[in-house]
Amino acid sequence: MRKMGSAHFSLAEALSIISGRSQLVWYYCMMMLCLIPYSLGAGRGHFYKWEVENLYWSPDGVENVVMGINGRFPGPTIRARAGDIIHVQLTNKLHTEGVVIHWHGIRQKGTPWADGTASISQCPINPGETFNYRFTVDRAGTYFYHGHYGMQRSAGLYGSLIVDVAEGEKEPFHYDGEFDLLLSDWWHESVHRQEVGLSSKNFRWIGEAQSLLINGRGQYQCSLAAELSANHCNLTGSEQWAPYILPVLPNKTYRLRIASTTSLASLNLAIGNHKMLVVEADGNYLQPFETSDLDIYSGETYSVLINTDQDPSQNYWISAGVRGRKPNTTQALTLLNYQPTSASKTPQSPPPITPEWNDYNHSKTFTNKILALDDPRVPRPPKNYTRRILLLNTQNKINGVYTRWAINNISLALPPTPYIGAIKFNLKKAFDQAKPPENFPQDYDVMKPAVNPNTTTGSGVYMFDYNSVVDVILQNANALNPNVSEIHPWHLHGHDFWVLGYGEGKFTPDQEKNFNLKNPPYRNTAVIFPYGWTALRFVADNPGVWAFHCHIEPHLHMGMGVVFAEGVDRIAKIPRQGLTCGLTAKRLMKGKNLG
């Protein structure tokens, strides 16, 4: 039987094949049916057999080691329809470390153990072991996947996940073709060296990325804008790092699906001489609005429509540049290539200029335009909340030595036993039982460094009543050094939330009167601007244990996150495959029934 990379089928098709006479086909179908998740529904099944391994690769023209899948970087694109079932049989070929993959934006309703978060939803997959991810993609949209163990996303473990509307449904907009743009940043220093620098007594910051990548391709110390075909750029014959060019026909409408899996950088994307119509964010439809450039933070996804109504004898630059940090990384560039014009023809106009890195008014103006479409597929928020927690984001010291990020003065330290098993089976010694703080001192001055910068580590969990309505106020503050407050994009697993509003300075209850309850965007990632706050609301209606964290990789590695849990008693059965570590492994060895 040949080795399969991917396959798809419907249940009816499979049953029809099984009724045939061929024993080989019978064996094939039975093998495939055993891979289907516990509850099929009416969707098609998609099977992928993946191996994660380290590869020599040249993402920006400089050979390095990346984490790839099936010998490629970035990983394969998954494409399905809403309601389909995805099954990824993942084998760890890394030899020296574990691995997990998070399906970013997929809510994992009914399959919380498939969320792909080490120590939260599952054990790391050990070298040589195989883990089966089975889940339903229940909603159309632009998503991606990435490693969620250590800093493996920084090492290149990511790929696109696109979900089309269900059969017979239509998008609320028209387009003639589409492209996927996966944006990322890239370092020449190994991830392991980065991790050691972040965790050492003598804190060593990794600095800015050497390159920005579009679909895994960038150019280090190479000015494409000067001359696309210049010999010093050495582009010819380089499949690994030659620009990912978008060939288009004149007078058409194209959808660009844009996802940011950056480890550090906030980005701004623009297309020379072309406006963009923003229509989707994080898998939810928006009131369309036009823009010349688009700010996108790590963990966010957008869909934009462009009309190819410019001079068809020319090509046009697509650029992505750093925002929110003083950039030491040159713009990523590629081409919108009007057919049949040669892709080697350099655009007449220079690349779009990225707005100043600290022009936060530009960023806020764009963000405030993002509103939900009046469409039954986009839910509206409850008018009242059941519980509210305020989370203060600060940079701190442990024992006066180690630099960490903390939430309400606790730096997250994940335990070896996955929370989902520990809570389900009442393993009280597996994590801190003390309730984490739901507020911070009212006299805390968010505009200045903390009077006492010391913090502590913790592994407590915010436990929510099932179906309760939760408000989260994310409060930004000054870091350790004066006059420093960073952008933090926060991502919630297992849910989408309504972004009710943004504000300057310290949040006060009277600002609630300005919350948008009419048409707030429904998202899974939201930004907190320097010295500001962001108000979110979600319904705790998805049984499981879910990470909520800053999506900047070094910040999460240094403790900038919390853990939410709800309705864990409603989870019928957790596969043992994801629980065989820590205290759950000991229970299994003793013959205890863990489901």
Q: Which H or E run contains 78?
A: strand 78-81
pLDDT for residue 225:
59
Which residue type occupies 536? L
- For 260, phi then psi, to 5°, come to -110, 115
Residue 380 domain-assigned (yes or no): no
Token readout for 134 is 């089975």
Residue 593 domain-assigned (yes or no): no
Ranges of the chain with pLDDT below 70? 1-42, 223-237, 584-595
Under 8 Å between Cβ of 269 and 139: no
DSSP three-state, residue 424:
helix
Is the domain of 125 the same as that of 13?
A: no
pLDDT for residue 586:
65
Token readout for 318 is 């697509």
Q: Which of 343, 375, 407 is the last residue of a domain?
A: 375
Give the span between the Cα atoms of 372 and 378, in whole angstroms.
7
Is the domain of 61 the same as that of 149?
A: yes
Please give the distance of CA 335 from its chain centroid, rounded to a whole number.
25
Strands (E), 301-432: 301-307, 315-323, 332-338, 387-398, 402-407, 410-412
pLDDT for residue 326:
87
Token readout for 208 is 């800015």
Residue 591 domain-assigned (yes or no): no
Is the domain of 6 the same as that of 68?
A: no
Is the domain of 526 the same as that of 407?
A: yes
Is the domain of 468 the same as that of 367?
A: no
Pairing of strands 410-412, 456-458: parallel
Cα torsion angle, 439, 443, 449, 453, sign? negative
Using the CB atoms, write b or e for 104-140: b if 16+ within 10 Å: bbbbbbbbbbbbbbbbbbbbbbeeeeebebbbbbbbb
Token readout for 465 is 């009543």
Is the domain of 427 the same as that of 325?
A: no
Find the CATH number of the domain harbouring 563.
2.60.40.420
Is the domain of 308 the same as that of 163?
A: no
The CA dihedral of 300, 301, 302, 308, to the nearest 10 degrees, is: 120
Range of the domain at 53: 37-170
Residue 279 domain-assigned (yes or no): yes
pLDDT for residue 572:
86
Residue 595 domain-assigned (yes or no): no
Is the domain of 532 the same as that of 405?
A: yes
Token readout for 25 is 């086909």
Under 8 Å between Cβ of 453 and 396: yes
Q: Which of 141, 170, 199 is the last residue of a domain?
A: 170
Give the span between the Cα atoms of 152 and 212, in whole angstroms.
17
Residue 440 domain-assigned (yes or no): yes
Q: Which H or E run contains 273?
A: none
Concatenate the DSSP letters of all residues of 105-138 into one string. Answer: T---TT-GGGS--BTTTB--B-TT-EEEEEEEE-
pLDDT for residue 37:
35
The count of domains in the chain is 3
Is the domain of 313 the same as that of 215?
A: yes
Contacts of 43 (CB under 8 A, 6+ apart): 80, 81, 83, 84, 85, 136
Nearest to 329 by CA among 185, 217, 461, 542: 185
**Nearest-5° Cα angle at 381, 375 to 382:** 135
Is the domain of 217 the same as that of 265?
A: yes
Residue 537 domain-assigned (yes or no): yes
Nearest to 481 by CA among 410, 546, 395, 391: 395
Is the domain of 340 the same as that of 237?
A: yes
- What's the pTM? 0.91
**Nearest-5° Cα angle at 561, 557 to 563:** 125
- The arrangement of strands across the sheet holding 101-104 comes to 78-81, 158-164, 141-147, 101-104
Using the CB atoms, write b or e for 356-367: b if 16+ within 10 Å: eeeebeebbebb
Token readout for 313 is 């004898």
Is the domain of 211 the same as that of 140?
A: no
Residue 72 domain-assigned (yes or no): yes
Q: Which of 336, 351, 375 is the last residue of a domain?
A: 375
Which residue type occupies 396? N
Give the span between the Cα atoms of 574 and 572, in whole angstroms.
7
